[in-house]
Structure 1
Amino acid sequence: MPMYWRLKRWKADDRERAIDHIAALRKHIALTVPRRTASDTLLLATWNVRDFDSNKFGQGPRLAESFHYIAEVISAFDLVALQEVNEDMRPFERVMELLGPSWRYVATDITEGPSGNGERMVFLFDSNKVQFKHIAGEIVLPKSSLVEGDHQFARSPFLVRFQSGWFKFNLCTVHLYYGDISGEGYDRRVAEIDSIAKFLKKRADADGQNYILLGDMNIVRPDDKTMKALRRHKFVLPADLTLDNDELRWVSNMGGNKHYDQIAFLVRKDELELGQSQNNAGVLNYYKAVYTEGEAETYYPLGKANGKWPASAAKRKTYFAEEWRSWQMSDHLPLFIELRIDFTEKYLKRIRESEQPVDPSTPDATDD
């Protein structure tokens, strides 16, 4: 759990408000996200944390309490892929300090250029639960796979190898091209999704390892070409694994009408299984606990220094709900999934049923 001892130094009003919101957020997380376990399951999440934390758009700055809420959200999971972490890492280190000493991260350099937006992608993980397996790299498409008119990615995908329990996997996070919903920008968006999915499928076919692709894919709709580009390469989505197959569960933007964020799997047989919690996949809507819609006038005095708050209370309510709070937390909500990582019984059954022992001197004698 995050370390909140600095709160005792805050002035009374700020301290009480933050503590009340943290308590509400913890309660909402407990109702929405499965409990973390020591060794049975992995809670994996992806979250685009809006412009963290440059304030280059002049909508902030983020309040001190927002860093506490962000840390609380991250701590609900074991491993989180973050997008839109900016060049200056000092705000990010504030979150790391709150998370505590067991948390680690692996980050990219910034992606430069007009489409890269100076962003990093970061994997945050609790080292008590997740092991970094010392393989990491940004993906650049080989020239042989590019045809005339094709682009490299707007922001380089980030691929890292991890292990949690028995489960070994390569995790690739993306923040793909946004563009338009038609025309050249849309075509580039589809091409980026198709390119990364094709690249990982080729890798998986060659090395037989597990691959998970997650992040802000800017998918338009479940029936759109953007999603078809992902499914074309045999990726499995959480909705495919659930009994109700409810695509609406994967709407992860603040407005509740976008399918941008996704988690998709290319995993070996018998190694992709959801945890047994009833809420083993879904979206965490923290706005039900912090920066709730009725709090515009509470935050107006704290945020008005940005010069963007309207003069009337009615317009301030709209600006707060649709804009300001999204720069404190994000316009995206975390998408998560609970995966089983204890394959002990399957392994013991397999070796019990094997006809003869494996010669330990052979190169492939060690099981993955």
Structure 2
Amino acid sequence: MTFRYDFSAVGPDFPTSRVAKSILRFKEYAAVKGLPRKTLEHSLLMASWNIKHLGGVGRTQEALWYIAEILSSFDIIAVQEVKRKLDDLEAVLSLMGPWWRYVVTDVTEGTDGNDERLAYVYDSRKVEFSGLAGELVVPPIENADGTETPAIQFDRSPFLAGFSAGWFKFQLATVHLAWATAEFEDPDRVREADTLAAFMKRRAETDIGTWARNVFLIGDFNFFNPTSQAFRAMIDHGFTIPVGRQELEQSNAGAKARFYDQIAYYLKDADIAPSRMGVLNLFEAFYTDAQFEADFEPWITKADGSIPSDKRKYYRTYYRRDQLSDHFPLWIELPIDFGNAYLKRHIE
């Protein structure tokens, strides 16, 4: 269940052999890291991936093929940092096949919004969009005297949407929370994490018309450390971080391990719990260190056409992160086939 490979449609300068080798290497790597093969009935593969400035940097056609391969490994993906122009996103989906769909927000204006969108990409053979979609607006604060004070809004409004897969109905809220250099207690990040978790918990527990009471917070939370107050805010509101998340490889491409990317859940269906999870270090398969000398060193230049003083450092620190991302996909597997359990509950 992967996307349709068709090298006949690429240009004469397309590095067909390198792309084919890299995709095969990725498949082998993903299998070793425990990523299951997709099925139509038994489980759901959900992922979060911040694809650096998708639509806003000069990606090559080669990179778009790699992004398509990565995304097609999952059933539904929350994507952060989609930029104003959707050309790259649409080019990627055209490679993946007509059964792939996306739902995307409008651009967040202003300096803090960084001209970004949030998106969900999903395989319509497996996942059905409910029609529910919206950006989270924080309600006003009610004062003791009956007046209301406007609440502080998110820098980039979380994107809520409802989906179903098999027997499983769920809501996702994907985010790209406030960035700050303060590693632990940045007040804006803490406020956003607390507000999001509290809002979505109320949605799951008390909202009469809610689409589903299985809720996931998913995306780039910019958490530096699992001991931070912002991280704890989700836990304090009843959300669960899958067991083993802290032992996984880092999901950022930097030298320091960070916990930016998270998937947290608040599940009302007792039968549902992630069975597997992982992080895919993309540079183990694409734009590897071993490829540098033969494939990239002879011609690599900066965006302005100048030659880097240290080509290897530029390749590792800038080029490959601009082509793929400075984040790695975080994924979980969820059971969605509850037919047998349903039948057993109806046996006298």
TM, length-normalised to structure 1: 0.85
Distance 1:14 1:339, change over 3 A: same
Q: Which amino acid is 1:223 matched to?
A: T
Deviation at 1:285, TM superposition (A): 1.2
Q: Which residue number corresponds to residue 162 of structure 1?
A: 163
TM alignment of 1:1-368, pairs within 5 A: 1-7=2-8, 9-11=10-12, 14-32=15-33, 33-55=35-57, 61-144=58-141, 151-181=152-182, 186-207=186-207, 209-239=213-243, 245=244, 247-249=246-248, 251-255=250-254, 257-275=257-275, 280-297=276-293, 298-304=295-301, 306-307=303-304, 311-312=308-309, 315-353=310-348
Using the alignment, how far apart are the partners of 2:46 and 2:317 within structure 1?
28
Deviation at 1:30, TM superposition (A): 2.7
Deviation at 1:182, TM superposition (A): 5.7
| Structure 1, gaps ≥5 residues long | 56-60, 240-244, 354-368
Q: Is the 8 A contact 1:309 1:319 kept in 2?
A: no
Using the alignment, how far apart are the partners of 2:73 and 2:289 within structure 1?
23
**Higher helix content, 1 or 2:** 1
Distance 1:89 1:13, change over 3 A: closer
Using the alignment, how far apart are the partners of 2:162 and 2:142 within structure 1?
24
Q: Which residue number corresponds to residue 58 of structure 1?
A: none
Deviations 1:29-54, CA, capped at 9 Å, x for gaps: 23231111110000000000000121
Deviation at 1:6, TM superposition (A): 3.8
- Over the aligned positions, Cα root-mean-square deviation in angstroms equals 2.2
Deviation at 1:250, TM superposition (A): 5.8
Using the alignment, how far apart are the partners of 1:170 and 1:101 within structure 2?
24
Q: Residue 291 of structure 1 aligns to a residue in which SS?
A: coil
Q: Is the 8 A contact 1:104 1:124 kept in 2?
A: yes
Using the alignment, how far apart are the partners of 1:264 and 1:139 within structure 2?
17
Deviation at 1:148, TM superposition (A): 7.4
Distance 1:107 1:9, change over 3 A: closer
Using the alignment, how far apart are the partners of 1:114 and 1:25 within structure 2?
36
Q: Is the 8 A contact 2:78 2:120 kept in 1?
A: yes
Q: Is the 8 A contact 1:310 1:319 kept in 2?
A: no
* Paired positions, count: 336
Q: Residue 301 of structure 2 aligns to a residue in which SS?
A: helix
Distance 1:246 1:75, change over 3 A: closer
| Structure 2, gaps ≥5 residues long | none
